[in-house]
Structure 1
Amino acid sequence: MNSPILHFISPPIPYFVDCGHATYTAGDVHINRNCIGVFDLIVVLKGILPIGEDDTTWELREGEILILRPDGYHYGSAPCTGDTKIIWIHFQTFGSWKECLSMDECLDNQAELIESHKQKAYLNHADVCSIFIPKTMKITGKAMEVLDMFFEQEHEPQSMRNWKRQASFQLFLQHLDRDLASPSDATAIQLAEKIELFIRHNYTSGITNSMLQKELNYHPNYLAKSMLKVYGMTPMAYLQNYRLEQSKRLLLQTSWSVARIAEEVGFHHVSHYSSCFSKKEGLSPSGFRRKFIRER
């Protein structure tokens, strides 16, 4: 797909803010706006919408989606030539995000974006993942069904409508995220998710590349390639990172010794654990604990 990609780190999942319909007749132009502070997702239901963001312009046709950035200049690039109908959804995120030119660029910058996210989203020990949303694409039938359901909720009482719309919007994003993947990407994603799940369930034991090969029946090189593509790190690097993240939880939620925590999360030597932790976090496990827990 020849489209830029919006790369979000979650949680928190991008959340719905507002939505509506708009109709244009021949000669009408989309309104000009600058830095509106929310993402503006547009779906054309009928006609053609000429629209621009900064120095790029599009002619959106029926069934096409465009996501405009919260920090860009949006404008009608030309008058509509006929009756045009659109739906728009405003959404935002508290987490880190970046617009990239390709999936390769997204993955190359994934580790850096995750580290930025953990500071911006106030997450010190939560598992995070990437959401990849194409900036522009042709909407699929399944995604359109979710949007139809989304707008049908306008007739719900406000208290129920807000809950249901958030859930529907997240389901819609999930469709966009999955529809982006090529067949080869989809295979890598499925395999990487199996590796990730196996590591999560067995991280306290002595996982090796040979064990993963036996469990998943793929050569370690292909397993590593899939994990690098999806998570930006090899299975063994992911294992170490996951163990360190779990140790943060124990540092904050228990009074266990550093040695016990190291053993609980799968490190055989407390010195190795402390060295890995310090290299990743810039402070020792004890220093991390003191930073967030004040003794009475």
Structure 2
Amino acid sequence: MSARILHFISPPIPYFVDCGHASYEIGDYHIDRNCIGVFDLIVVVKGILPVGENEVLWELREGEGMILLPDGHHYGFAPCTEKTEIIWIHFQTFGSWQECADMSECLGNQQALIEEHKSKAYLNHADVCSIFIPKHMKISAKAMEQLELFFEQESEPKSMRNWRRQAIFQSFLQYLDRDLASPSDATAIHLAEQIELYIRSHYMHDLTNPVLQKALNYHPNYLAKSMLKVYGMTPMAYLQHYRIEQSKRLLLLTSWPVARIAEEVGFHHVSHYSSCFSKKEGLSPSAFRSKFAKER
């Protein structure tokens, strides 16, 4: 069975709700529940846990984990054949997510999911990113260390305990996200992040594929391939996207003329800026300002 992937968009980062231990004797079944409203991460620390979600069945073994969906039917499809112990963590997210068959499907759907998320989470003008978590996973030693930290907070006051568990949970998700990447994916992700950072730092200047090639020492075709794989767009498409996002901030936060804003974000001609903006946002820069900006 191929490993499916849960694709989350953040911010906000998926948030910790609760955690605990559970033990099963020989002959015990995992609890039968339907649509519990939170993601249920199960990690087996000893034994074997037979568990089903809707019509799909797994036998989770020591060191393996699985994320059950908030809107699914979860149940034990067979009794435990040996004494079994698990750690469970409930978490939830505010915004968009989807379950995909593989990384190719995640990346192919990435831009559509991001746009849905921005609208759903009221983040139309925020910078967002993807988090990829395997549905079924082998927990690495580093990730397991983070799990154990959840239960070292019991002696802390409740308010402090919750803050620290959220921080630990975010670190744990980061390990799962990075552990998922294949060597080729990891290389593409690293290079795409370098391209993004360079564009964010230089977007107001003349940026071309030859400039990126000289700065990052990779052929433009490889740069484009990496950006397409990770961000779903080429470096030049991302540059235009980022320039328009920055211009939206200036339209909302300043009284500058549209021509000045176009120049500030790297467009040489206000007509080209207005055309690109209208194509992406469905209205002109001036109309965008009139619709969303408060009177100053």
TM-score, length of structure 1 as denominator length = 0.98
Deviation at 1:280, TM superposition (A): 0.9
Deviation at 1:255, TM superposition (A): 1.6
Worse-matched range after superposition: 163-172 or 283-292: 283-292
Asked if the contact 2:48/2:61 (under 8 Å) is kept, the reply is yes
Q: Which residue of 2 aligns with 1:203?
A: 203
Alignment partner of 1:85: what SS?
strand
Q: In 2, distance between residues paired with 1:150 and 1:253?
A: 42
Q: In 2, distance between residues paired with 1:35 and 1:292?
A: 38
Alignment partner of 2:37: what SS?
coil
Letter in 1 for 2:266: G
Instruction: Please list the CA deviations of residues 104-131 of structure 1 after superposition, one character each: whole Å capped at 9, or x if unmatched.
Output: 0001000100100010010021111110
Stretches of structure 2 that go unaligned for 5 or more consecutive residues are: none
Q: Which residue of 2 aligns with 1:63?
A: 63
Worse-matched range after superposition: 172-181 or 240-249: 240-249
Instruction: Please list the CA deviations of residues 205-247 of structure 1 after superposition, one character each: whole Å capped at 9, or x if unmatched.
Output: 0110000110111110000000011111100001110111111
Instruction: Please list the CA deviations of residues 1-23 of structure 1 after superposition, one character each: whole Å capped at 9, or x if unmatched.
Output: 93100001111110101111111
Worse-matched range after superposition: 223-232 or 270-279: 270-279
Give percent identity, aligned residues only.
79
TM-score, length of structure 2 as denominator length = 0.98
Q: In 1, distance between residues paired with 2:290 and 2:162?
A: 40
Q: Which residue of 2 aligns with 1:128?
A: 128
Q: Which residue of 2 aligns with 1:240?
A: 240
Q: Which residue of 1 aligns with 2:44?
A: 44
Q: Which residue of 2 aligns with 1:17?
A: 17
Alignment partner of 1:154: what SS?
coil
Deviation at 1:154, TM superposition (A): 2.0
Q: Which residue of 1 aligns with 2:95?
A: 95
Letter in 1 for 2:245: E
Which structure 1 residue ranges, 4+ long, deviate > 2 Å from structure 2?
293-296
Q: In 2, distance between residues paired with 1:7 and 1:189?
A: 15
1:228 equivalent in alignment to 2:228: yes
Alignment length (residue pairs): 296
Q: In 1, distance between residues paired with 2:277 and 2:12?
A: 25
1:249 equivalent in alignment to 2:245: no
Deviation at 1:294, TM superposition (A): 3.9
Q: In 2, distance between residues paired with 1:254 and 1:20?
A: 50
Deviation at 1:293, TM superposition (A): 2.4
Q: In 1, distance between residues paired with 2:233 and 2:78?
A: 45
Q: In 2, distance between residues paired with 1:222 and 1:250?
A: 33
For 1:107-118, list aligned pairs within 5 A: 107-118=107-118
Alignment partner of 2:153: what SS?
helix
